[in-house]
Structure 1
Amino acid sequence: MADELWREERDFWLAGSAEAARKLDDGCLMVLPAAGILTRRKVVESLSTTPRWQEVTLIDRASIETDEVCVLAYHATARRAGAETYRALCTTTWVRRDGDWRILQHQQTLA
């Protein structure tokens, strides 16, 4: 299960805004260094106005999982056109809803 979610996590960083938004749970919360605390609605708005990442590497990966919840922790290095390399320590909590995995929580701390 964790292998599948690591692929989903990477895809979340790189996907278009509509695809990324489909991965969010209705109760999703995110904490991002430049944006602060965001509800799902604010995350979706942000996804539609912020350029998506073109490349991301997830290292120092760790996870803990149950049948319904999986927490991923990692160090991300990401790049987008015209911007400096972004480095952050991240956690994402994935929850299974009706058989599908959704992001319940995501947090980034600048590294």
Structure 2
Amino acid sequence: MADELWREERDFWLAGVAEAVRKLDETCVMAFAPTGILSRRKVVERLGAVPRWQEISMTDRAVVETNEVCVLAYRATARRSGADAYRALCTTTWIRRDGDWRILQHQQTPV
């Protein structure tokens, strides 16, 4: 299960907006410094307003999983076209809803 979710996590960073939005649970909440805490609605707005990432590296991976919930923790290095590398410590909580995995929570702490 964790291997599948690592692929989903990578796709969340790199996929188009519609695909990224499809992965969000209706109750999703995200926290970004300095942006703050965002509801699903605000996350969707922001995804449409910023360029998508071109590449992502996830290292120092850690996983906590049950049958219905999986938490991924990692160090991310991401790049957008023409921009410097972005580095952050991240966690994402995935929840199984009706057989599909959805993002319940995501947080990034820049390093």
Tell me which interval the TM-score lies in, with the shorter structure as reference length: over 0.9
How far off its partner does 1:91 sit? 0.2
C-alpha separation in 2, matches of 1:34 and 1:42: 15
Task: Provide Cα deviations, 1:65-107, integer angstroms capped at 9, x if missing partner.
Answer: 0000000000000000121100000000000000000000000
Cα gap change, 1:50 to 1:25, in 2 (>3 Å): same
C-alpha separation in 1, matches of 2:83 and 2:42: 22
RMSD value over aligned CA atoms? 0.6
How far off its partner does 1:43 sit? 0.3
C-alpha separation in 2, matches of 1:45 and 1:110: 21
Could you tell me which residue of structure 2 aligns to residue 62 of structure 1?
62
How far off its partner does 1:34 sit? 3.7
TM-score of the superposed pair, with normalisation by structure 1: 0.98
Could you tell me which residue of structure 2 aligns to residue 27 of structure 1?
27
How many percent identity over aligned positions? 74
In structure 2, give the amino acid aligned to 1:48. Answer: G
Could you tell me which residue of structure 2 aligns to residue 92 of structure 1?
92
How many residues are aligned here? 111
Other structure's SS at 1:44 match: helix
- Structure 2: gaps (5+ residues): none
The answer to whether 1:82 aligns with 2:82 is: yes
C-alpha separation in 1, matches of 2:40 and 2:107: 13
Could you tell me which residue of structure 2 aligns to residue 107 of structure 1?
107
TM-score of the superposed pair, with normalisation by structure 2: 0.98
- Structure 1: gaps (5+ residues): none
